[in-house]
Amino acid sequence: TQLLEQSPQFLSIQEGENLTVYCNSSSVFSSLQWYRQEPGEGPVLLVTVVTGGEVKKLKRLTFQFGDARKDSSLHITAAQPGDTGLYLCAGGRNTDKLIFGTGTRLQVFP
């Protein structure tokens, strides 16, 4: 059973556009991580959010954890070709292992 659903599954946009990726669950998580995976590489952690309603910014990327800690979003402003990759959310519950989302593949064209 997939506990974390991401949408959209694919996103293809032009440079300069804005986009939002969603990560949804019916379960509550104590923390939510976002990873980016570039072709030929393993995922790399971008951010961890731990408090309901928390917002974190990483340059043009804004991450939000839902108030009920069941969902999260990633918003990219003025996307660049360097943002291209697979974005994965991962939820943690106390000492239990991480659960990964289904992934969103983003392609940004120049």
**Contact status: 58 vs another protein (CB under 8 A):** no
Count of C-beta atoms within a 10 Å radius of residue 97? 8
**Contact status: 27 vs another protein (CB under 8 A):** no
Task: Give the β-pairing of 71-76 and 31-37.
Answer: unpaired
Collapsed DSSP state (helix, strand, coil) of residue 81: helix
Count of C-beta atoms within a 10 Å radius of residue 93? 15
Q: Which is nearer to another protein, 16 or 107 (CB)?
A: 107
Nearest-10 Cα torsion for 8, 9, 13, 19? 30
State the minimum distance, in angstroms, from the CB of residue 5 to another protein: 10
Which of 21, 49, 88, 108 binds another protein (CB under 8 A)? It is: 88
Which of 9, 14, 77, 107 binds another protein (CB under 8 A)? It is: 9
Tokens representing 38 are: 């570039």
**Contact status: 77 vs another protein (CB under 8 A):** no
Interface residues with another protein (CB under 8 A)?
A: 2, 4, 6, 9, 30-31, 33, 35, 40-45, 48, 88, 90, 92-98, 100-103
